[in-house]
């Protein structure tokens, strides 16, 4: 049986249906028991103009807390999974990560510095600092890579060096200001707590632009997999494609990190699973990773906010619990 090189309409339809079902389930479930039938009644009332079965406070929980959180989880999951798939295509490594070029380290350092310098940092300032730090980390990696020489291997080594350096600075700053450790580590472990739609609005434009670019370049990643000489003979300019893809993927990662903190495994597990199920063509992997990432993180967030309710697990802990066993199974399957 040959692997598909184009996205079948029914694959996309099935992915969207699964996403709709998981998102609906996430809206119905939560630490505050609103009752699934009453929540559906509220949604129907908003569509038809009928009477809501929820009180004003319960409706506020649904529309200003639960629903934006589900949408935000879908956005972040889609951004990280799509970025992971394209990073893996550029570096030709199925274990490449969205944080590979220093996005996570830059964001972590920026958040740490802001929290230390301004102990009463407004909550709205933390995502801005994370976004700026993430882009700064990627920019520093990019500058070092271009100075050292061309090629993805050079860029990868520059990313490792920059991430190690920025993480060392972050650790040093934290040790000088241990009072801020809990807040910083809380952000590093990831979370999707919202107080409305502001974080969705903040991240959506950047993620949308990046996703459009990455989906448009999916076919070019298949050409790059043939090798630079073969790609050039087909009219593709590999350096330009890599720059465009890495720039868009880094932008999506920075936007996701700015509103969610650092959430691991999404950008590795989801594309890998899509490849196992549907083949290795990036025309298939990239769009299905979008839907798969959204499904994965929405489901993980439901677990994070319900398993210890009314307390809440960091979502990064949940994704690690899911991701680590997945890799063990993959390694065992490869060995077999």
Q: Give the per-residue pLDDT at 98.
A: 87
For 278-321, how does the pLDDT look when each residue is reduced to its tens digit (9 = 90+)?
A: 888 999 999 999 999 999 999 999 999 888 877 788 898 999 88
pLDDT of amino acid 303 = 92
pLDDT, tens digit (0-9, with 9 covering 90-100), for 35-70: 888 888 888 888 887 788 888 888 888 888 899 999
- Name the region of 262 (left: φ>0; alpha: ψ -120 to 50; beta: rest): beta
| pTM summary value | 0.89
Does the pLDDT of residue 241 top 70, yes or no? yes
Q: Tell me the percentage of the chain whose pLDDT exceeds 70.
A: 94
In terms of pLDDT, which residue wins out, 123 or 211?
211
Handedness of CA 147, 149, 155, 157 (dihedral sign): negative
Question: Does residue 208 come out as left (phi exceeding 0), alpha (psi in the -120 to 50 range) or beta?
Answer: alpha
CA atoms within 13 Å, Cβ hemisphere of 179: 7
| SS3 label, residue 261 | coil
Answer CATH for 9-335 from 3.20.20.370, 3.50.50.60, 1.10.3470.10, 3.40.640.10? 1.10.3470.10
Query: What is the full DSSP assignment across 92-121?
Result: T-TT--TTTTSHHHHHHHHHHHHHHH-TT-
CA distances 69 to 75, 193, 299, 314, Å, are 10, 7, 12, 14
H helices present in 180-217, as ranges: 181-188, 198-216
Interatomic CA distance for residues 93 and 79, integer angstroms: 19
- Measured CA distances, 330 to 157, 206, 274, 276, 316 (Å): 26, 33, 13, 10, 21
* pLDDT band, very low/low/confident/very high, at 1 (cuts 50, 70, 90): very low
Compute the distance between CA of residue 99 and CA of residue 250 in angstroms, rounded to an integer: 8
Residue pLDDT, tens place only, 75-111: 999 999 999 999 988 888 777 888 888 888 898 898 8
Of 130, 156, 135, 133, the residue nearest 145 (C-alpha): 156
Which range is least confidently modeled, 6-15, 89-98, 201-210, 327-336? 327-336
Q: Average pLDDT, whole number, for the chain? A: 86
Taking only the tens place, the pLDDT of each residue in 174-184 is 887 777 777 77
pLDDT confidence bin for 271, thresholds 50/70/90: very high
pLDDT at res. 24: 92
């Amino acid at each position: 049986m040959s692997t598909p090189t184009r996205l079948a309409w029914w694959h996309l339809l099935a992915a969207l249906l699964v996403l709709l079902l998981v998102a609906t389930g996430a809206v119905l479930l939560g630490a505050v028991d609103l009752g699934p039938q009453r929540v559906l009644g509220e949604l129907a009332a908003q569509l038809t103009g009928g009477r809501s079965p929820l009180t004003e406070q319960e409706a506020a929980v649904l529309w200003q807390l639960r629903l934006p959180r589900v949408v935000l989880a879908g956005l972040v999951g889609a951004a990280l999974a799509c970025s992971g798939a394209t990073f893996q295509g550029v570096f030709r490594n199925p274990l490449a990560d969205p944080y590979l070029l220093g996005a996570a380290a830059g964001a972590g350092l920026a958040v740490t510095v802001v929290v230390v310098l301004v102990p009463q940092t407004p909550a709205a300032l933390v995502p801005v600092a994370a976004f700026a730090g993430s882009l700064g980390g990627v920019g520093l990696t990019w500058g070092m890579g271009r100075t050292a020489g061309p090629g993805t291997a050079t860029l990868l080594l520059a990313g490792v060096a920059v991430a190690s350096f920025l993480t060392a600075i972050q650790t040093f700053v934290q040790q000088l200001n241990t009072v801020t450790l809990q807040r910083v580590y809380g952000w590093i472990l990831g979370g999707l707590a919202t107080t409305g739609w502001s974080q969705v609005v903040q991240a959506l434009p950047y993620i949308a632009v990046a996703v459009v670019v990455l989906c448009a370049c999916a076919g070019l990643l298949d050409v790059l997999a043939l090798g630079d000489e073969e790609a050039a003979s087909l009219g593709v300019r590999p350096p330009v494609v890599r720059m465009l893809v890495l720039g868009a993927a880094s932008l999506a990662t920075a936007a996701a990190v700015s509103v969610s903190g650092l959430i691991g495994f999404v950008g590795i597990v989801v594309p890998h699973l899509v490849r196992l199920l549907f083949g290795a063509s990036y025309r298939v992997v990239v769009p299905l990773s979008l839907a798969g990432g959204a499904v994965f993180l929405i489901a993980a967030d439901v677990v994070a906010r319900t398993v210890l309710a009314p307390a809440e697990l960091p979502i990064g802990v949940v994704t690690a619990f899911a991701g680590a066993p997945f890799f063990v199974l993959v390694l065992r399957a490869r060995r077999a």
